[in-house]
Structure 1
Amino acid sequence: MNKSIEVRELGNKDFKETWAYQERLFKDILDTKIKNRREDAGLETSNYFLFVEHPHVYTLGKSGDLSNLLLSEEQLKEKEATFYKINRGGDITYHGPGQIVGYPILDLDNFFTDIHKYLRFLEEMVILTLAEYGIIATRSEGETGVWLDVDTPFARKVCAMGVRASRWVTMHGFALNVNADLGYFDNIIPCGIKGKAVTSLNVELGLEKVNIDEVKEKLLKHFKTLFEAELILQQTEIQKE
């Protein structure tokens, strides 16, 4: 089993371009697994963890409801935002500047074959990271992601999650609000959940800005421990086909 994971820092990248890049990495891993099964090739499968920040974009999961997007095409243009229907689980969410988006593209055969456990580990990574800032975060039963004050009238989501998996290979991932412009969430019903707010780490800490690189370091530290992985850090430019 290959427990080595290449951590690739992509910087600020267009969502569609990054989605295509994910798909290429995802397909390469699947192709290796198929070759191993058909030919008993014994080839090692790769694992990746992509960090990226997107320009303003709304994405709708395959089971999502389009009515949860509260903007017309014209209004999207006015807000300099784009919209995509994509192939992850979950409903609608927003990505934008000041948000840490993480896409683990893993062959879970290298770790454990349990999607429920995988999602709980991603949540735990965020919960442990927020604890380092003195913030008590939790899960909300039946609602994937990470929340604050979940059993109160002031419940608010700080991290959204949605993944796709095939043959135990994962893609898509999580979006943690660090210095996010929360006004963009007013244009959707986030994750299709009515009556619960969205927050950002800087808001919770009463700061104008939180050091994003520091948050990434903490996320990776907990990810490495939870997945018992070896991490290899890289700065990467997306190579177009």
Structure 2
Amino acid sequence: MTAPRDPFFPADKSIRASSDPLDVRHLGLVDYQEAWDIQADLVKQRSADEIGDTVLVLEHPSVYTAGKRTQPSDRPMNGLPVVDVDRGGRITWHGEGQLVVYPIVKLAEPVDVVDYVRRIEEAVIQAVRVAGVEAAGRIDGRSGVWLPDSVRAASAKASARDRKIAALGIRISRGVTMHGLSLNCNNTLEFYDHIVACGIDDADVTTMSLELGREVTCADMVTPVMEALDDALAGRLIVADHTFKSAPDPSKGLPRK
């Protein structure tokens, strides 16, 4: 996603309303609906300044979730249930081996959603590059973190097309963020075969393990992701241009469900 304008804040300035340290909560394996309910409660508390900025770090049991732009043709063909959610974007899958991070953060005024998304992407790009996936970057027009088809993964099982390694889906409620990012570490990809993931049919998905040719767990990636996220939100990690190509936005012009 390329910003259509300069961000509201200087690149080296925090986008958070608070300068207090993030409260990071490691929840383990949590049912999607339960985690959504936890987020909703925390958003109310953060909005009322009853708590500080909080980040939930967890994994979900296998589940499909459909954002506001999901189309009927996106939905799974294997009969598994889908949770319809209030985030942006279209359909995706969550499951064990995928690191999920939900920042509940009050943004500084004026709220800059584009800059927030780009900072989240920058954090993930930094974390996966440090871990060895050095080609990670952006596709202009599509959110998330991507690998180009020109770079081959260490594992022959990985796709040879452009492939997404991390997905983003957010919602801002009363100036407070919820939902967030998911990074594929060592999860299966079989459930993606039954959906049009994020509405994109000209690219694929991948994992840290496939790209590096060795086992990379969620536990391996928690610290680098959280350190980079903290730095990106604070302005210590500057958003850079990591775009390697442009492609159509799969959600542009679609009605909200």
TM-score greater than 0.5 by the shorter chain:
yes
- Once the two structures are TM-superposed, the CA of residue 64 in structure 1 deviates from its matched residue by 1.4
Corresponding letter in the other structure for 2:100 = V
Alignment correspondent of 1:26: 43
Alignment correspondent of 1:185: 192
Secondary structure of the residue that 1:97 maps to in structure 2? coil
For 1:225 and 1:45, locate their aligned partners in 2 and report how far apart those are by CA, in whole Å: 21
Asked if the contact 1:15–1:55 (Cα under 8 Å) also holds between the matched residues in 2, the reply is yes
Alignment correspondent of 1:117: 115
- Aligned-residue Cα RMSD (Å) equals 1.9
Judged with a 3 Å threshold, the aligned counterparts in structure 2 of structure 1 residues 113 and 156 are, in CA distance, closer, same or farther, namely: same
Asked if the contact 2:97–2:217 (Cα under 8 Å) also holds between the matched residues in 1, the reply is no
Q: 1:65-105 CA deviation, whole Å, 9 max, x = no partner?
A: 13211325xx32xxxxx420000000000000100011001
Alignment correspondent of 1:160: 167
**1:54 and 2:60 correspond:** yes
For 1:132 and 1:19, locate their aligned partners in 2 and report how far apart those are by CA, in whole Å: 30
Runs of 4+ in structure 1 over 3 Å off:
150-153
Alignment correspondent of 2:88: 89
Asked if the contact 1:140–1:150 (Cα under 8 Å) also holds between the matched residues in 2, the reply is no
Judged with a 3 Å threshold, the aligned counterparts in structure 2 of structure 1 residues 123 and 150 are, in CA distance, closer, same or farther, namely: farther
Aligned match for 2:72, one of 50, 66, 76: 66
For 1:146 and 1:98, locate their aligned partners in 2 and report how far apart those are by CA, in whole Å: 17
Asked if the contact 1:45–1:107 (Cα under 8 Å) also holds between the matched residues in 2, the reply is no
For 2:37 and 2:103, locate their aligned partners in 1 and report how far apart those are by CA, in whole Å: 14
For 2:67 and 2:187, locate their aligned partners in 1 and report how far apart those are by CA, in whole Å: 21
How many percent of aligned residue pairs carry the same amino acid?
37
- TM-score normalized by the length of structure 1: 0.81
For 2:181 and 2:149, locate their aligned partners in 1 and report how far apart those are by CA, in whole Å: 19
**1:213 and 2:219 correspond:** yes
Q: 1:157-201 CA deviation, whole Å, 9 max, x = no partner?
A: 000110000232110001100001011110110100112110000
For 1:45 and 1:140, locate their aligned partners in 2 and report how far apart those are by CA, in whole Å: 36
Secondary structure of the residue that 1:134 maps to in structure 2? coil
- Once the two structures are TM-superposed, the CA of residue 5 in structure 1 deviates from its matched residue by 1.4
Secondary structure of the residue that 1:145 maps to in structure 2? strand
Q: 1:132-181 CA deviation, whole Å, 9 max, x = no partner?
A: 12221111111110000067872000001100002321100011000010
Alignment correspondent of 2:249: none
Q: 1:89-129 CA deviation, whole Å, 9 max, x = no partner?
A: 0000000010001100100128x731101100110111111
Secondary structure of the residue that 1:140 maps to in structure 2? strand
Unpaired stretches in structure 2, ≥5 consecutive residues: 1-16, 152-159, 236-257
- Once the two structures are TM-superposed, the CA of residue 224 in structure 1 deviates from its matched residue by 1.7
Provide the aligned length of Structure 1 versus Structure 2: 209
- Once the two structures are TM-superposed, the CA of residue 45 in structure 1 deviates from its matched residue by 5.5
Secondary structure of the residue that 2:209 maps to in structure 1? helix
**1:2 and 2:2 correspond:** no
Asked if the contact 1:138–1:150 (Cα under 8 Å) also holds between the matched residues in 2, the reply is no
- TM-score normalized by the length of structure 2: 0.76
